[in-house]
Structure 1
Amino acid sequence: MSGSKVKIELRYIFQYQASLLLAWSLQHHMHLFEPDFLLFLQEDKSEGYIQQQIYIEPKGSYLLETDKWKEEFLKEINDEAIPIVTYVDNNDYHIFGLPFYNTEYKIEEFTESMDNFLK
C-alpha cells in the first residue's frame, strides 16, 4: 500500500470516572481494573466503518512493578480478545490494550504499539 493513505478519524477520548470496570482472572483470583483512558478511532470502509477502542493506562514509575498485572491484562486483550466483531449494523469493532504510558521507562514500547494501530 505504498503511497496510499488511510483516513482515521479521532472520534473521542475520555477519562474514566468509575464508568467501566474490567475483570481479569489472575491465577484464579478475580481482579477489577479501571483503565484511565479509552481512545476511540474510526475509519470509514465501503459500507459502515471500523471502530477501534484502545485502553490506555498512564502509570508512574513507582507503580510499574506493583501494577504489572494490569499491564499484562492490557496486553492480553490483544492476544485473547475476539479481534473483529461485525454486528448487524455492518461495522467492525476492535478492542486493544496498550502497554503502560510511562515517559521514564516505557515510552518507546508505548509509542511503537500506538504506531502499529495507526498504520
Structure 2
Amino acid sequence: MGTDKAVPAGPYRSLNIPLLNGQTPAAILAMLRRTQGKEADMALINRKFYQSWRGPSPNDQDFWSLVFDPEARRLLVRHEWQTSRHNGFEDVDIAEFLKQTGNAQTALIDSLFLAPVDA
C-alpha cells in the first residue's frame, strides 16, 4: 500500500484527457491529496465502467466499478455480481485487475484514457 503522490510517468502524464466526468488524472490526484486526513470531507469515487449479463436469468449480472478506498487511500476495482442464487462483491487492486485481459479491462482503459470523438 504505497502512498505515492506524484503523477505516474508515462504517455498520459501531460495530456489533458477527460476522466471521470471531465476530470483529468492530474485533477483527480490533486483532489485526493487535498482530502487526505479529512475523513469526513473525503470525496468518494464510485464509478461503474462496465456491466455484463451472466445468465441464464436476465437478472444475473456482473458490474465493475472504479472505487476509492479512503482508509487505504488507493483506487480499486470493485466486481459485483447478482444472480438468482447469490450475490456479492470483490475489491481488486487496479494493477492486478489490469494484468488480466477481457472486456472489463478494456472498458476501464477506454473510460480513463480515450477522448470523446467530437473533442
| TM-score normalised according to structure 2 size | 0.32
Give TM-score scaled by structure 1 length: 0.32
